[in-house]
Structure 1
Amino acid sequence: MKKLIILMALALIGCSSASLVTNWKNPEIVLFDANKVLIVGMTSNTEARAQFEEKLQDEFSKRNIEAFKSIDLFDVEFTSSEKSEEELSEVEQQLLNKDFDAILFTKIIGSENKETFRKRMSKMDWSLNSFNEDYLEHQPIFYEEDYYEEFTIYHAETSLYCICVGKERELIWRGNIDITDPVNIDKTIDDYIKLVVFALKEQDLIFRKEYRDEITSL
Protein backbone atom coordinates (compact mmCIF):
# COMPACT_ATOMS: atom_id res chain seq x y z
CA MET A 1 0.00 0.00 0.00
CA LYS A 2 2.78 2.40 0.88
CA LYS A 3 4.46 1.66 -2.42
CA LEU A 4 1.24 2.60 -4.22
CA ILE A 5 0.97 5.84 -2.27
CA ILE A 6 4.56 6.76 -3.13
CA LEU A 7 4.10 6.02 -6.82
CA MET A 8 0.90 8.05 -6.96
CA ALA A 9 2.52 10.99 -5.20
CA LEU A 10 5.52 10.89 -7.49
CA ALA A 11 3.22 11.11 -10.47
CA LEU A 12 2.11 14.47 -9.13
CA ILE A 13 5.65 15.79 -8.80
CA GLY A 14 5.99 16.16 -12.55
CA CYS A 15 8.47 15.01 -15.15
CA SER A 16 11.37 13.31 -13.41
CA SER A 17 14.36 11.35 -14.64
CA ALA A 18 14.13 9.04 -11.59
CA SER A 19 11.41 6.55 -10.71
CA LEU A 20 11.00 4.24 -7.73
CA VAL A 21 10.81 0.58 -8.79
CA THR A 22 10.88 -1.29 -5.47
CA ASN A 23 10.64 0.00 -1.93
CA TRP A 24 11.47 -2.39 0.94
CA LYS A 25 11.40 -1.64 4.66
CA ASN A 26 12.55 -3.94 7.46
CA PRO A 27 9.26 -5.27 8.90
CA GLU A 28 10.73 -5.15 12.41
CA ILE A 29 11.23 -1.39 12.16
CA VAL A 30 8.37 1.04 12.70
CA LEU A 31 10.26 4.28 13.19
CA PHE A 32 13.95 4.95 12.79
CA ASP A 33 15.75 8.08 13.92
CA ALA A 34 19.36 8.94 13.28
CA ASN A 35 21.47 11.67 14.81
CA LYS A 36 24.60 11.29 12.71
CA VAL A 37 24.52 9.87 9.19
CA LEU A 38 27.28 8.97 6.75
CA ILE A 39 26.32 9.59 3.12
CA VAL A 40 28.07 7.30 0.63
CA GLY A 41 27.75 7.70 -3.13
CA MET A 42 29.67 4.91 -4.85
CA THR A 43 30.92 6.08 -8.25
CA SER A 44 34.28 6.57 -9.92
CA ASN A 45 33.10 9.99 -11.10
CA THR A 46 34.50 12.18 -8.32
CA GLU A 47 32.65 15.30 -9.43
CA ALA A 48 29.26 13.55 -9.54
CA ARG A 49 29.95 11.87 -6.20
CA ALA A 50 30.81 15.16 -4.52
CA GLN A 51 27.75 16.87 -5.97
CA PHE A 52 25.41 14.05 -5.00
CA GLU A 53 26.70 13.75 -1.44
CA GLU A 54 26.69 17.50 -0.89
CA LYS A 55 23.12 17.96 -2.09
CA LEU A 56 21.92 15.04 0.01
CA GLN A 57 23.80 16.47 3.00
CA ASP A 58 21.88 19.71 2.51
CA GLU A 59 18.59 17.82 2.87
CA PHE A 60 19.71 16.49 6.25
CA SER A 61 20.92 19.93 7.33
CA LYS A 62 17.53 21.45 6.52
CA ARG A 63 16.04 19.06 9.06
CA ASN A 64 18.75 19.64 11.67
CA ILE A 65 20.23 16.17 11.25
CA GLU A 66 24.00 15.88 11.29
CA ALA A 67 25.33 14.23 8.12
CA PHE A 68 28.80 13.78 6.67
CA LYS A 69 29.98 13.06 3.14
CA SER A 70 32.09 9.97 2.54
CA ILE A 71 34.22 11.99 0.14
CA ASP A 72 35.39 13.98 3.17
CA LEU A 73 35.94 10.95 5.41
CA PHE A 74 37.45 8.46 2.97
CA ASP A 75 40.78 9.49 1.52
CA VAL A 76 41.79 8.81 -2.07
CA GLU A 77 43.84 5.75 -1.10
CA PHE A 78 40.83 4.16 0.58
CA THR A 79 38.65 4.17 -2.53
CA SER A 80 41.41 3.44 -5.04
CA SER A 81 41.95 -0.15 -3.91
CA GLU A 82 39.87 -3.16 -2.95
CA LYS A 83 39.07 -3.51 0.75
CA SER A 84 38.67 -6.66 2.82
CA GLU A 85 35.83 -7.40 5.21
CA GLU A 86 38.21 -6.88 8.12
CA GLU A 87 39.15 -3.42 6.88
CA LEU A 88 35.50 -2.45 6.47
CA SER A 89 34.76 -3.73 9.97
CA GLU A 90 37.50 -1.43 11.26
CA VAL A 91 35.90 1.49 9.42
CA GLU A 92 32.53 0.62 10.91
CA GLN A 93 34.02 0.55 14.41
CA GLN A 94 35.60 3.95 13.80
CA LEU A 95 32.20 5.28 12.79
CA LEU A 96 30.65 3.84 15.95
CA ASN A 97 33.40 5.47 18.02
CA LYS A 98 32.52 8.79 16.38
CA ASP A 99 28.82 8.36 17.24
CA PHE A 100 27.56 7.64 13.74
CA ASP A 101 24.37 5.61 13.82
CA ALA A 102 23.38 5.24 10.15
CA ILE A 103 24.79 4.94 6.64
CA LEU A 104 22.87 5.94 3.53
CA PHE A 105 24.55 4.06 0.70
CA THR A 106 23.83 4.72 -3.00
CA LYS A 107 25.27 2.94 -6.03
CA ILE A 108 24.56 2.15 -9.67
CA ILE A 109 23.98 -1.60 -9.99
CA GLY A 110 23.42 -1.90 -13.74
CA SER A 111 22.15 -0.37 -16.95
CA GLU A 112 20.31 -1.37 -20.10
CA ASN A 113 19.54 0.12 -23.48
CA LYS A 114 15.95 0.64 -24.52
CA GLU A 115 14.35 1.42 -27.83
CA THR A 116 11.09 3.23 -28.47
CA PHE A 117 9.18 4.67 -31.39
CA ARG A 118 9.67 8.31 -32.15
CA LYS A 119 6.95 10.31 -30.41
CA ARG A 120 5.26 11.47 -33.57
CA MET A 121 4.81 7.86 -34.65
CA SER A 122 3.68 6.55 -31.29
CA LYS A 123 -0.03 7.32 -31.60
CA MET A 124 -2.04 4.70 -33.41
CA ASP A 125 -4.02 6.24 -36.26
CA TRP A 126 -7.30 4.40 -36.63
CA SER A 127 -8.20 6.50 -39.69
CA LEU A 128 -5.81 4.55 -41.93
CA ASN A 129 -8.33 2.45 -43.83
CA SER A 130 -6.26 1.24 -46.76
CA PHE A 131 -2.91 -0.35 -47.45
CA ASN A 132 -1.78 2.77 -49.36
CA GLU A 133 -2.55 5.08 -46.46
CA ASP A 134 -0.92 2.77 -43.95
CA TYR A 135 2.20 2.31 -46.06
CA LEU A 136 2.62 6.02 -46.85
CA GLU A 137 2.22 6.96 -43.19
CA HIS A 138 4.84 4.52 -41.93
CA GLN A 139 7.32 4.23 -44.77
CA PRO A 140 9.94 6.27 -42.84
CA ILE A 141 10.69 2.98 -41.08
CA PHE A 142 12.71 2.03 -44.17
CA TYR A 143 14.94 5.09 -44.45
CA GLU A 144 14.83 7.36 -41.38
CA GLU A 145 17.61 6.36 -39.00
CA ASP A 146 16.01 8.09 -36.03
CA TYR A 147 12.62 6.41 -36.44
CA TYR A 148 13.51 4.49 -33.31
CA GLU A 149 14.93 6.38 -30.34
CA GLU A 150 17.52 4.69 -28.16
CA PHE A 151 17.98 5.61 -24.53
CA THR A 152 19.71 4.15 -21.50
CA ILE A 153 18.15 3.26 -18.17
CA TYR A 154 20.48 3.10 -15.17
CA HIS A 155 19.42 0.93 -12.25
CA ALA A 156 20.43 2.50 -8.94
CA GLU A 157 19.98 1.37 -5.38
CA THR A 158 19.93 3.32 -2.12
CA SER A 159 20.13 1.47 1.19
CA LEU A 160 19.80 2.70 4.76
CA TYR A 161 21.88 0.79 7.31
CA CYS A 162 21.86 1.06 11.06
CA ILE A 163 25.31 0.90 12.62
CA CYS A 164 23.98 1.24 16.14
CA VAL A 165 25.67 -0.77 18.89
CA GLY A 166 24.40 -4.34 18.76
CA LYS A 167 22.76 -3.82 15.34
CA GLU A 168 25.78 -3.30 13.12
CA ARG A 169 25.07 -3.46 9.40
CA GLU A 170 21.35 -4.03 9.89
CA LEU A 171 19.42 -3.11 6.75
CA ILE A 172 16.59 -0.70 7.54
CA TRP A 173 15.38 0.27 4.07
CA ARG A 174 16.26 -0.28 0.44
CA GLY A 175 14.91 1.43 -2.64
CA ASN A 176 15.63 0.49 -6.24
CA ILE A 177 15.43 3.48 -8.53
CA ASP A 178 15.63 3.72 -12.30
CA ILE A 179 17.27 6.74 -13.89
CA THR A 180 16.15 7.29 -17.47
CA ASP A 181 18.61 8.65 -20.02
CA PRO A 182 20.33 11.20 -17.75
CA VAL A 183 21.49 14.19 -19.80
CA ASN A 184 21.50 16.99 -17.25
CA ILE A 185 23.51 15.76 -14.25
CA ASP A 186 22.18 18.53 -11.99
CA LYS A 187 18.54 17.69 -12.70
CA THR A 188 19.18 13.97 -12.43
CA ILE A 189 20.77 14.32 -9.00
CA ASP A 190 17.99 16.65 -7.83
CA ASP A 191 15.31 14.23 -9.03
CA TYR A 192 17.03 11.27 -7.39
CA ILE A 193 17.48 12.99 -4.04
CA LYS A 194 13.91 14.29 -4.06
CA LEU A 195 12.72 10.73 -4.60
CA VAL A 196 14.89 9.23 -1.83
CA VAL A 197 13.85 11.88 0.69
CA PHE A 198 10.19 11.39 -0.18
CA ALA A 199 10.42 7.60 0.13
CA LEU A 200 12.17 7.77 3.51
CA LYS A 201 9.67 10.31 4.76
CA GLU A 202 6.74 8.09 3.74
CA GLN A 203 8.30 5.22 5.68
CA ASP A 204 9.01 7.36 8.78
CA LEU A 205 12.73 6.68 8.49
CA ILE A 206 14.93 9.57 9.68
CA PHE A 207 12.64 12.11 8.00
CA ARG A 208 9.07 12.56 9.19
CA LYS A 209 5.84 13.18 7.36
CA GLU A 210 4.11 16.43 8.18
CA TYR A 211 0.71 15.55 9.56
CA ARG A 212 -2.02 18.13 9.34
CA ASP A 213 -5.01 18.30 11.61
CA GLU A 214 -8.17 17.57 9.70
CA ILE A 215 -11.29 19.52 10.64
CA THR A 216 -14.53 17.78 9.85
CA SER A 217 -18.05 18.98 10.34
CA LEU A 218 -21.29 17.01 10.57
Structure 2
Amino acid sequence: MKKVLVILALLQMACTSTSLVENWKNPEYVLFHANKVLIVGMTPNEEARQNFESKLQKEFSKRNVESMRSIDVFDISFTNTKKTEKELDDVEQSLLDKDFDAILFTKIIGSEDRESFIKSISKWNNYQGRFNDDYLDHQDIYYDEDYYDKFTVYHAETTLYCICEGKERSLVWRGSIDIEDPKNIEKTIKDYVKLVVLAMEEQDLIFYKDLNNEVTGL
Protein backbone atom coordinates (compact mmCIF):
# COMPACT_ATOMS: atom_id res chain seq x y z
CA MET A 1 0.00 0.00 0.00
CA LYS A 2 2.81 2.37 0.89
CA LYS A 3 4.49 1.86 -2.49
CA VAL A 4 1.23 2.60 -4.30
CA LEU A 5 0.73 5.80 -2.32
CA VAL A 6 4.25 6.99 -3.15
CA ILE A 7 3.75 6.31 -6.85
CA LEU A 8 0.43 8.16 -6.84
CA ALA A 9 2.00 11.12 -5.09
CA LEU A 10 4.81 11.29 -7.62
CA LEU A 11 2.35 11.09 -10.50
CA GLN A 12 0.33 13.94 -9.03
CA MET A 13 3.43 16.05 -8.69
CA ALA A 14 4.30 15.44 -12.33
CA CYS A 15 1.46 17.84 -13.13
CA THR A 16 2.89 20.59 -10.95
CA SER A 17 5.79 22.99 -11.50
CA THR A 18 8.38 20.75 -9.80
CA SER A 19 9.99 17.51 -10.98
CA LEU A 20 12.87 15.39 -9.72
CA VAL A 21 15.61 15.28 -12.36
CA GLU A 22 18.15 13.17 -10.53
CA ASN A 23 19.14 12.12 -7.04
CA TRP A 24 22.48 10.76 -5.91
CA LYS A 25 23.26 8.99 -2.66
CA ASN A 26 26.75 8.48 -1.28
CA PRO A 27 27.32 4.69 -1.51
CA GLU A 28 29.05 4.79 1.87
CA TYR A 29 25.67 5.39 3.53
CA VAL A 30 23.14 2.57 3.48
CA LEU A 31 20.89 4.72 5.64
CA PHE A 32 21.45 7.96 7.48
CA HIS A 33 19.95 9.00 10.80
CA ALA A 34 20.21 12.48 12.25
CA ASN A 35 19.24 13.76 15.69
CA LYS A 36 19.39 17.49 14.97
CA VAL A 37 19.32 19.08 11.50
CA LEU A 38 19.96 22.63 10.33
CA ILE A 39 17.66 23.63 7.45
CA VAL A 40 19.19 26.19 5.08
CA GLY A 41 17.29 27.77 2.20
CA MET A 42 19.62 30.10 0.27
CA THR A 43 17.63 32.90 -1.35
CA PRO A 44 17.63 36.71 -1.27
CA ASN A 45 13.84 36.57 -0.76
CA GLU A 46 13.41 36.53 3.04
CA GLU A 47 9.71 35.69 2.88
CA ALA A 48 10.30 32.70 0.59
CA ARG A 49 13.21 31.57 2.75
CA GLN A 50 11.10 31.64 5.90
CA ASN A 51 8.21 29.87 4.19
CA PHE A 52 10.42 27.15 2.75
CA GLU A 53 12.40 26.48 5.92
CA SER A 54 9.23 26.47 8.03
CA LYS A 55 7.52 23.88 5.83
CA LEU A 56 10.56 21.62 5.91
CA GLN A 57 10.82 22.01 9.68
CA LYS A 58 7.19 20.93 9.96
CA GLU A 59 8.04 17.68 8.14
CA PHE A 60 10.90 17.01 10.55
CA SER A 61 8.60 17.66 13.51
CA LYS A 62 6.06 15.16 12.15
CA ARG A 63 8.78 12.52 12.31
CA ASN A 64 10.07 13.54 15.75
CA VAL A 65 13.41 14.73 14.39
CA GLU A 66 14.73 17.94 15.91
CA SER A 67 15.52 20.66 13.39
CA MET A 68 16.12 24.39 13.28
CA ARG A 69 15.73 26.96 10.54
CA SER A 70 18.76 28.93 9.43
CA ILE A 71 16.77 32.12 9.99
CA ASP A 72 16.70 31.20 13.70
CA VAL A 73 20.36 30.19 13.87
CA PHE A 74 22.17 32.69 11.63
CA ASP A 75 21.94 36.32 12.68
CA ILE A 76 21.25 39.06 10.11
CA SER A 77 24.93 39.86 9.68
CA PHE A 78 25.64 36.29 8.58
CA THR A 79 23.80 36.52 5.27
CA ASN A 80 24.41 40.24 4.81
CA THR A 81 28.16 39.75 4.45
CA LYS A 82 30.21 37.22 2.51
CA LYS A 83 31.93 34.54 4.55
CA THR A 84 35.44 33.16 4.30
CA GLU A 85 36.33 29.50 4.54
CA LYS A 86 37.69 30.11 8.06
CA GLU A 87 34.43 31.74 9.16
CA LEU A 88 32.41 28.84 7.79
CA ASP A 89 34.68 26.36 9.56
CA ASP A 90 33.92 28.23 12.79
CA VAL A 91 30.19 28.10 12.03
CA GLU A 92 30.36 24.37 11.41
CA GLN A 93 32.20 23.83 14.68
CA SER A 94 29.62 25.93 16.55
CA LEU A 95 26.88 23.74 15.07
CA LEU A 96 28.69 20.65 16.32
CA ASP A 97 28.97 22.25 19.76
CA LYS A 98 25.18 22.71 19.69
CA ASP A 99 24.68 19.01 18.85
CA PHE A 100 23.76 19.42 15.19
CA ASP A 101 24.80 16.41 13.12
CA ALA A 102 23.42 17.28 9.67
CA ILE A 103 22.70 20.21 7.35
CA LEU A 104 20.00 20.17 4.67
CA PHE A 105 20.97 22.86 2.18
CA THR A 106 18.78 24.09 -0.69
CA LYS A 107 19.60 26.62 -3.39
CA ILE A 108 18.62 27.61 -6.93
CA ILE A 109 21.54 27.09 -9.29
CA GLY A 110 19.56 27.92 -12.44
CA SER A 111 20.46 27.00 -16.01
CA GLU A 112 18.49 27.22 -19.24
CA ASP A 113 20.88 24.78 -20.92
CA ARG A 114 19.33 21.49 -19.78
CA GLU A 115 21.81 19.35 -21.73
CA SER A 116 24.80 20.93 -19.99
CA PHE A 117 23.06 20.57 -16.65
CA ILE A 118 22.40 16.86 -17.18
CA LYS A 119 26.06 16.36 -18.09
CA SER A 120 27.09 18.01 -14.82
CA ILE A 121 25.13 15.37 -12.88
CA SER A 122 27.66 12.75 -13.96
CA LYS A 123 30.25 14.55 -11.82
CA TRP A 124 28.30 13.96 -8.61
CA ASN A 125 29.81 10.53 -8.04
CA ASN A 126 33.21 12.19 -7.67
CA TYR A 127 31.99 15.10 -5.55
CA GLN A 128 33.66 15.06 -2.14
CA GLY A 129 32.90 18.61 -1.02
CA ARG A 130 31.52 19.74 2.31
CA PHE A 131 28.80 22.21 3.21
CA ASN A 132 31.47 24.91 3.48
CA ASP A 133 32.55 24.38 -0.15
CA ASP A 134 28.96 24.42 -1.39
CA TYR A 135 28.10 27.57 0.56
CA LEU A 136 31.22 29.43 -0.59
CA ASP A 137 30.54 28.59 -4.23
CA HIS A 138 26.97 29.92 -4.12
CA GLN A 139 26.76 32.62 -1.45
CA ASP A 140 26.44 35.36 -4.10
CA ILE A 141 22.80 34.25 -4.37
CA TYR A 142 22.07 36.22 -1.19
CA TYR A 143 23.19 39.50 -2.78
CA ASP A 144 21.73 39.32 -6.28
CA GLU A 145 18.17 40.67 -6.16
CA ASP A 146 17.68 39.94 -9.86
CA TYR A 147 18.93 36.36 -9.58
CA TYR A 148 15.56 34.72 -10.27
CA ASP A 149 14.82 36.96 -13.26
CA LYS A 150 17.53 35.24 -15.29
CA PHE A 151 15.79 31.89 -15.77
CA THR A 152 12.46 30.52 -16.97
CA VAL A 153 13.32 27.02 -15.76
CA TYR A 154 15.03 26.91 -12.38
CA HIS A 155 17.37 24.07 -11.47
CA ALA A 156 17.42 23.65 -7.72
CA GLU A 157 19.62 21.45 -5.58
CA THR A 158 18.96 20.12 -2.11
CA THR A 159 21.99 18.56 -0.45
CA LEU A 160 22.30 16.66 2.82
CA TYR A 161 25.61 16.95 4.67
CA CYS A 162 26.88 14.97 7.61
CA ILE A 163 28.69 17.06 10.24
CA CYS A 164 28.79 14.22 12.76
CA GLU A 165 31.40 14.41 15.51
CA GLY A 166 34.23 11.94 14.97
CA LYS A 167 33.22 11.26 11.36
CA GLU A 168 34.34 12.75 8.07
CA ARG A 169 32.12 15.72 7.25
CA SER A 170 30.79 14.78 3.86
CA LEU A 171 27.99 14.87 1.33
CA VAL A 172 25.36 12.21 2.03
CA TRP A 173 22.79 12.97 -0.66
CA ARG A 174 22.05 15.44 -3.43
CA GLY A 175 18.77 15.87 -5.27
CA SER A 176 18.20 17.95 -8.40
CA ILE A 177 14.73 19.39 -8.93
CA ASP A 178 13.44 21.42 -11.88
CA ILE A 179 11.00 24.26 -11.20
CA GLU A 180 9.29 25.48 -14.36
CA ASP A 181 8.51 29.21 -14.30
CA PRO A 182 6.52 29.16 -11.03
CA LYS A 183 3.51 31.45 -10.92
CA ASN A 184 2.30 30.44 -7.46
CA ILE A 185 5.25 30.57 -5.04
CA GLU A 186 3.27 29.11 -2.13
CA LYS A 187 2.24 26.04 -4.15
CA THR A 188 5.72 25.65 -5.63
CA ILE A 189 7.31 25.59 -2.18
CA LYS A 190 4.78 23.01 -0.96
CA ASP A 191 5.41 20.81 -4.01
CA TYR A 192 9.18 21.16 -3.64
CA VAL A 193 9.17 20.21 0.04
CA LYS A 194 6.92 17.22 -0.62
CA LEU A 195 9.20 16.00 -3.41
CA VAL A 196 12.35 16.35 -1.27
CA VAL A 197 10.74 14.44 1.61
CA LEU A 198 9.62 11.60 -0.67
CA ALA A 199 13.02 11.35 -2.36
CA MET A 200 14.86 11.22 0.98
CA GLU A 201 12.37 8.72 2.35
CA GLU A 202 12.92 6.39 -0.59
CA GLN A 203 16.67 6.58 0.06
CA ASP A 204 16.30 5.93 3.84
CA LEU A 205 17.78 9.30 4.72
CA ILE A 206 16.39 10.69 8.00
CA PHE A 207 12.83 10.15 6.72
CA TYR A 208 12.25 6.40 6.80
CA LYS A 209 9.53 4.49 5.01
CA ASP A 210 6.71 3.41 7.33
CA LEU A 211 4.23 0.91 5.97
CA ASN A 212 1.63 2.08 8.47
CA ASN A 213 1.67 5.73 7.46
CA GLU A 214 0.61 7.52 4.31
CA VAL A 215 2.85 9.83 2.35
CA THR A 216 3.38 13.34 3.55
CA GLY A 217 0.55 15.82 3.13
CA LEU A 218 1.22 19.54 3.35
The bucket for the TM-score relative to the shorter chain is 0.7 to 0.9
How high is the sequence identity, in percent, across the aligned residues?
A: 68
Q: Do the aligned partners of 2:17 and 2:181 also contact (CA within 8 Å) in 1?
A: yes
Residue 162 of structure 2 corresponds to residue 162 of structure 1: yes
Tell me what 2:59 maps to.
59
In structure 2, do the counterparts of structure 1 residues 72 and 184 end up closer, same or farther at CA, with 3 Å as the change threshold? same
Inter-partner Cα distance in structure 2 for 1:103 and 1:73: 12
Inter-partner Cα distance in structure 1 for 2:162 and 2:113: 35
Inter-partner Cα distance in structure 2 for 1:29 and 1:167: 12
Inter-partner Cα distance in structure 1 for 2:23 and 2:7: 10
Inter-partner Cα distance in structure 2 for 1:16 and 1:158: 18
Inter-partner Cα distance in structure 2 for 1:167 and 1:8: 38
Output the amino acid matched with 1:152. T
- Partner of 2:182, secondary structure, is coil
Shift of 1:12: 4.5
Residue 217 of structure 2 corresponds to residue 210 of structure 1: no
- Backbone CA RMSD of aligned residues: 2.0
Inter-partner Cα distance in structure 2 for 1:13 and 1:60: 21
Inter-partner Cα distance in structure 1 for 2:200 and 2:35: 15
Tell me what 1:50 maps to.
50
Residue 200 of structure 2 corresponds to residue 200 of structure 1: yes
Deviations 1:77-127 (A, max 9, x none): 11111101110000000000010000000000014399xxxxxxxxxxxxx
Inter-partner Cα distance in structure 1 for 2:87 and 2:168: 15
Tell me what 1:127 maps to.
none
Shift of 1:34: 0.6
- Partner of 1:29, secondary structure, is coil
- Partner of 1:166, secondary structure, is coil
In structure 2, do the counterparts of structure 1 residues 168 and 46 end up closer, same or farther at CA, with 3 Å as the change threshold? farther
Query: When you count strand as a share of all residues, which structure comes out higher?
Result: 1
Q: Do the aligned partners of 1:7 and 1:20 also contact (CA within 8 Å) in 2?
A: no
TM-score for both structures, normalised by structure 1: 0.74
TM-score for both structures, normalised by structure 2: 0.74
Q: Do the aligned partners of 2:23 and 2:176 also contact (CA within 8 Å) in 1?
A: yes
Tell me what 2:92 maps to.
92
- Partner of 1:164, secondary structure, is coil
Query: When you count helix as a share of all residues, which structure comes out higher?
Result: 2
Residue 77 of structure 2 corresponds to residue 77 of structure 1: yes
Structure 1 residue ranges without an equivalent (≥5): 1-5, 115-150, 213-218
Q: Which has the larger radius of gyration?
A: 1
Tell me what 1:108 maps to.
108
Inter-partner Cα distance in structure 1 for 2:156 and 2:77: 25
Output the amino acid matched with 2:79. T
